[in-house]
A and B are shown apart, each in its own frame.
Chain A
Amino acid sequence: MAHVRYTPEHEWIRIDADVGTVGITDFAQQQLGDIVFVELPAVGSQLRAGAEAAVVESVKAASEVYAPASGEVVEVNEALAEGPENVNADALGGGWFFKVRLADPGELEGLMEQSAYKEYVAGLG
């Protein structure tokens, strides 16, 4: 089974070989409310870990999505253009944002495992 890691900014990254699929967590989509628009990076662009990679908008807020890892964007979820509500419905599945070819898999070491992220979120309440 693919390995999923989490950031403190509520992004997740699922690792399959050297490609990571990135989205926002269920907690994040709940906090944002009805998501109305997602601005995705261009395929081929280079992301730096921790830098702004995408923007997710609800009616009353816009939030930056930061790259959990560095690398080249190899695919984006085009379906979000027509159906941004997919992020609300299935944040960890069909609501993924983009895929990045990992430049340095070692960067993922600092990210949280699922259990640690659950604890982290519980601590925010």
Chain B
Amino acid sequence: MRYLPLSEDDRRQMLAAVGAHGIDDLFGDVPASARLAAPVDLPGHQGEIAVEQAFRDFAGRNLSPASAPCFLGAGLYRHHIPAAVDHLIQRGEFLTAYTPYQPEVAQGTLQYLFEFQTQVALLTGMEVANASMYDGATACAEAVLMAVRLGKSRRRALIAGGVHPHYRDVTATYGRFADIEIVAAPPRWPETGDPAARVDGETACVVVQNPDVFGRIHDYTELGDACHRAGALLIVIVCEPVSLGAITPPGDMGADIVVGEGQSFGNATGFGGPTVGLFATHTRFIRQMPGRLVGQTVDADGRRGFVLTLSTREQHIRREKATSNICTNSGLCALAFTIHLTLLGETGLRRLAALNHANAVALADRLARVPGVEVPDGSFFNELTVRLPRPAVPVVEELAAGGVLAGVPASRLFPGAPGMEPLLILVASELTSESDMDRLTAGLREALS
């Protein structure tokens, strides 16, 4: 029991100081009927060698994207993580610190969160961002709740068909319990449908995504104008923040709230979590914002320092009147995000985005030459949707058996929705090599022949 420092002798002496005969005496307040006399029916303690081997065995029963050409995206993206990121986030001072409630001994956490907030604001083109949310999907749900608070009596949210279904579904679950009407449009491809037509005086907000779940890039400026004319807010989701190194940010299109997933910077796809939710908005809305905020101030000697601020919005002070029940942010994932983005800088991010786009264009060209695969003409960043001549699920299974992770079948995201079965959503990134594309197209040719 290498994690427990007390020796039997310590325990005896400490029990004597406490005035108890044994540790069980200290549990006298537990009703006797609920006290377990012996350990529960689970294995006993194990050394590091055995535990590590057990996890190597678990890992061995999976196909690692590191050893397979991987074209999976649809909300989480595999990018190269510079070595410095993981080294720095594992420093104990970051890894094993708590929420910075005592700012004098937490300036490290507070300063990086302040820098994170600034980076997110700059990337999204918004005035202010918070210190992060659980993930992109919950950030989206919280954004809709915030829009409803701001919209007073308006209780309807319109969700476009191009929104990631997890974001749509999480928002619908939150909405159901907050008595908000969530109206979600069905997914459509290759055309998109126009949510603007349905904005009215009951609408608190319209939720769209850029690039959308099929990879298409949109200019939402007109939609934003339509929302604002009707007194509604425009919420824009960004699932792939690397795209913001190449395309116009939502803030420049009239977005009122930008939410998103920050995983692409510094965080592995990690089988889905933990990741880091992004949340940015206008300064005039900050008091309705959920989540933690770090602000700049001065200390008793007049030196610049940082503190958690505007805490009166939060649950530990406001209790049932809080803007959200959220208690944590995603601190360490936000740290990974901010370190990676700092390593990239303006130049590196532009280059990374250009590489992703170039490889996606090459992928589109390659796929267009595979007989039976239909590649649309529209715009995309690093992710695109193609139509196969038969359902995508078995094709993907067949390629996986051959060691290629070919992409995400749209029917896995939108089961039962019309027209989704033949659609396959693929990503190319800076990690995608010529030979990866060769193996993909060869696999597709074979599967489709």
Residues of A within 8 A of B (CB): 36-37, 39, 57-62
Contacts and interface: CB of A to CB of B under 8 A. Distances in A.
Contacts of A39: 287
Nearest to B321: A62
A61 B312 CA distance: 6
Interface string B214-241: 0000000000000000000000000000
A35 to B, nearest CB: 11
A21 B311 CA distance: 29
Given A37-B312, A58-B312, 14 more contacts: A36-B312, A37-B287, A39-B287, A57-B312, A59-B311, A59-B312, A60-B311, A60-B312, A61-B312, A61-B317, A62-B312, A62-B317, A62-B318, A62-B321
Contacts of B311: 59-60
Nearest to A39: B287
Contacts of B312: 36-37, 57-62
A78 to B, nearest CB: 15
A98 B437 CA distance: 68
Contacts of B318: 62
Interface string B405-433: 00000000000000000000000000000
Contact of B317 (A36, A37, A60): A60
Interface in B265-301: 287
A20 B392 CA distance: 71
A46 to B, nearest CB: 15
Interface string B234-275: 000000000000000000000000000000000000000000
Interface string B315-338: 001100100000000000000000
B285 to A, nearest CB: 14
B284 to A, nearest CB: 11
B317 to A, nearest CB: 6
A39 B287 CA distance: 10
A61 B321 CA distance: 12
Shortest 10 CB-CB distances between A and B: which pairs? A62-B312, A57-B312, A62-B318, A62-B317, A60-B317, A61-B317, A61-B312, A60-B311, A37-B312, A59-B311
Among A39, A57, A58, chain B packs the most CB atoms within 10 A around the CB of A57
Contacts of B287: 37, 39
A59 B321 CA distance: 16
A36 B312 CA distance: 10
Contacts of B321: 62
Nearest to A60: B317
A60 B101 CA distance: 12
Nearest to A63: B312
A82 B279 CA distance: 26
A110 to B, nearest CB: 27
